[in-house]
Amino acid sequence: MKILVGYKRVVDYNVRIQVKPDGSGVITDGVKLSANPFDDIALEEALRIRDKGLATEVVVVTMGPADCQAHIRNGLAMGANRAIHVVTDAAIQPLTAARAFLKLIEKEQPGLVLMGKQAIDDDANQTGQMLATLWGRPQATFAGAIAIDGGKAQVTREVDAGLEILDIDLPAVVTVDLRLNEPRFIKLPDIMKAKSKPLETLAFADLGVESADFLETTHYAPPAKRSKGIMVKDVAELVAALKNKGLV
């Protein structure tokens, strides 16, 4: 079985995001970029499934500009067998990304597609669900545990009421949550080995994907700064203060 893993590059989660002065976007010049944390977890799970002998190949897929090569090599250093880089300078929205992934699925014929439940740059939480619908295959989202048994997968997912267990037929799309695993630490020998692993590059235009980027962001703004707190003597003064602010 082959596993296809979505592996997006985003601004590192430790970076304090700053909005450009003209409000046209966020500042990325000189900012650390790294793998989406949820995607690292998806890749780790794919590697664990392969290491158990339940899969033969793990392929990471990245859609982004030409300078994503270092990011892709990071996925190969973690242990992926090979990588596919769909080169594009455009910011790809979820439905377009799902359509592009479908083209790659038709080519690669994976038995399982693993993705992070969302990317931390847009928090859309849409690509996996859209891909499963376009593909016409089962989906399981917010996975906290995955067990593969032949042509089926049992996925334990986190829901508001607790845990839900789904039995799905493969091939399928599974999006993973934070508590599924802890990604492995990449060692120097693995980084060196990654340099010789296959990395296929494709122009986004060559996929023949119809764009579905229907949303246009007109302005970015940072969150309003929090005002200083005030001390109140009793409940009556608290209620009066809230009324003055129009909160009650």
Mean pLDDT of 210-218: 78
Model confidence at 142, pLDDT cuts 50, 70, 90, reads very high
Enumerate residues 6+ apart whose C-beta is below 8 A from 69: 85, 199
Residue 3, pLDDT above cutoff 90? yes
Q: Which two tokens stand for residue 211?
A: 């764009």
Model confidence at 15, pLDDT cuts 50, 70, 90, reads confident
Summarised one tens digit per residue, pLDDT across range 31-67 is: 888 899 999 999 999 999 999 999 999 999 999 898 8
What is the rounded CA–CA span in Å between residue 248 and residue 244?
9
Q: What is the average pLDDT score of the chain? A: 90
Q: Which two tokens stand for residue 240?
A: 């009066």
- Calculate the CA dihedral of residues 55, 174, 172, 127 and round it to 10 degrees: -130
Residue 210, pLDDT above cutoff 90? no
pLDDT of residue 28: 78
Helices 69-78 and 37-51: crossing angle in degrees, nearest 10, is 40
Residue 155, pLDDT above cutoff 90? yes
pLDDT of residue 63: 92
Amino acid (1-letter code) at residue 246: G
Q: How many CB atoms lie within 10 A of CB 220?
A: 13
Q: How many CB atoms lie within 10 A of CB 131?
A: 25
Model confidence at 175, pLDDT cuts 50, 70, 90, reads very high
Classify 199 as helix, strand or coil.
strand
Mean pLDDT of 109-130: 92
CATH topology of domain 2-244: Rossmann fold (3.40.50)
Summarised one tens digit per residue, pLDDT across range 67-106 is: 888 889 999 999 999 999 999 988 888 999 999 999 999 9
Domain limits, the chain: 2-244
Residue 214, pLDDT above cutoff 80? no
pLDDT of residue 153: 95
What is the rounded CA–CA span in Å between residue 70 and residue 62?
11
Helices 127-135 and 94-108: crossing angle in degrees, nearest 10, is 50
pLDDT of residue 112: 96
Classify 28 as helix, strand or coil.
coil
Model confidence at 158, pLDDT cuts 50, 70, 90, reads confident
